[in-house]
Chains A and B, each alone.
Chain A
């Protein structure tokens, strides 16, 4: 059954070759999409696999973004240094926030993550001496990537695209291993019946926290990529509507299959960016599609296809 991974190889080749035939505008769009895919799939580790709905994940994305930007702007323009700092900061934030949140279940968990997410937003927005307030960070540099033996020029659209592609691919690979490991199996058991799992001898709270931190770590990476990509960031990336994006991308694509949120991200972003180019009414279309999905395709697109192809019905998240 080697052809199982054929599509993946084809996709990777396609992604490597895109700069040859796509316009600059589309390359920018594609880069942003890769970042959002990482955001959504990292989020889904906690949502689809561990069964915890967080409505505050923009906190980690924005912390990763702002810390990376601040390091590049004010400390030292080194991509590795900035990225590592940004991601570690996001992970630490996830540890602190997660410590409190994993004590709660279900809707209360969601509400607490929302509260923390908005706290982070307020801090970013109001601590203007550090973060630039409502104006945000501007002119974030994109220095050459110093890899000891050689330097990579990241200033062009295509080179930053490849940089993003490599990091996202590595991150997704690591996440994939985690999800398919013994630990990943335990996480899915946490999702299915966390109470029962206690009686099997697993400290459920600790597993949830670890999942939370890993999720925050990779969301922080997505945020770190975002800053130098856009070159300026504002507090809106910490607002609750940003937290809602990976939730809905995951629901659209499907939460129970590893790459499914990527499909949801593509749909979401396509509607947001491309349609808004054609018509002012993109929000109506997006709204209508979201509504349609809920009414007709509760397993997400991939869930729907999976059901049709394999005849196996995965339940809806939350049931």
Chain B
């Protein structure tokens, strides 16, 4: 069964067609990278799928349910989640609180207006578990905004983990990272995909990462899909080379 079905998707900004008719299906547990030159429409695609933008026309189905035009918070609750391109967290909450609020949101416990947050609850246990996975237990009481860039990316991963996604969109997660951090990030993504069967959609510019981990690569240019296949097929594809070289 297709986890995500995109049909006839078009997104116009005035006269500019940022997405000019895209049809894509993604299967459960699949690891797909989306690549393409700047302006190809990759981020716009993510924005439309996650509800940040509404499409000009076309439909999006998630596990059979029509999510076209739904607001972001409803789509997130269906467990279609995303990791952002730039660090986009809660700077004056502690690392612990950043993760905990996501855990609470997932568990639908954020409306508990008379439950003192400092009383221990299952949400706390889960928060600590995730902190352990991302390795930031020792920094849990630091304000998120004061952490290094790399550590903030880890918190971002932690937030994503806490949401228990079925489908996870990652928008350039290794952006600005050195080789060690990139490896660590790649490991996490791999673990999510292999151990927890999360369907992954990855936008990346680092080709070594893309070609080494992806099962499937979708290439976009100028708002349309120009190639779609496994890494070998894409490597040999003429149109892909044109798109990149002609840039």
Contacts and interface: CB of A to CB of B under 8 A. Distances in A.
A180 interface: yes
Contact of A186 (B71, B104, B118): B104
A185 B103 CA distance: 12
A203 B75 CA distance: 11
B61 interface: no
A191 B90 CA distance: 9
A181 B113 contact: yes
Interface in B55-102: 71-74, 76-77, 81-82, 84, 88-93, 97, 100-102
B93 to A, nearest CB: 6
A149 B160 CA distance: 56
B166 to A, nearest CB: 13
A178 interface: yes
Contacts of A186: 101, 104-105, 110-111
B109 A182 contact: yes
Interface residues of A, number: 29
Interface stretch (A120-128, A192-200, A259-267): A192-200
A204 interface: yes
Given A180-B116, A180-B117, A315-B145, A199 B82 contact: yes
A186 B101 CA distance: 6
A257 interface: no
B76 A199 contact: yes
Contacts of A108: none
B117 A184 contact: yes
B73 A203 contact: yes
| Interface range, B side | 35 or more
A314 interface: yes
Interface string A292-319: 0000000000000000000010110000
A181 B114 contact: yes
Given A186-B104, A192-B92, A315-B91, A201 B116 contact: no
B89 A196 contact: yes
Given A198-B71, A201-B77, A312-B143, A183 B111 contact: yes
Q: In this complex, which of A198, A201, A203 has the most chain B Cβ atoms within 10 angstroms of its Cβ?
A: A201
A193 B76 contact: no
Contacts of A200: 76, 101-102, 105-106, 159, 163
B112 interface: yes
A178 B114 CA distance: 6
B115 interface: yes
Given A199-B72, A201-B76, A181 B116 contact: yes
A142 B123 CA distance: 48
A281 interface: no
B50 interface: yes
Given A193-B89, A193-B90, A202 B97 contact: no
B122 to A, nearest CB: 12
B110 A202 contact: yes
Interface string B178-217: 0000000000000000000000000000000000000000
A12 interface: no
Nearest to A177: B114
A188 interface: yes
29 contacts: A177-B114, A177-B116, A180-B116, A180-B117, A181-B112, A181-B113, A181-B117, A182-B115, A183-B110, A185-B101, A189-B90, A189-B97, A189-B101, A192-B89, A192-B90, A193-B91, A197-B73, A197-B101, A198-B73, A199-B81, A200-B76, A200-B101, A200-B106, A201-B105, A201-B163, A202-B105, A203-B74, A256-B92, A315-B145
Interface of A: 177-178, 180-186, 188-189, 191-193, 195-204, 207, 256, 312, 314-315
Given A185-B97, A199-B72, A315-B145, 5 more contacts: A188-B93, A200-B76, A200-B102, A201-B76, A201-B105
- 5 A-B pairs with least C-beta separation: A192-B90, A201-B76, A198-B72, A186-B110, A183-B113
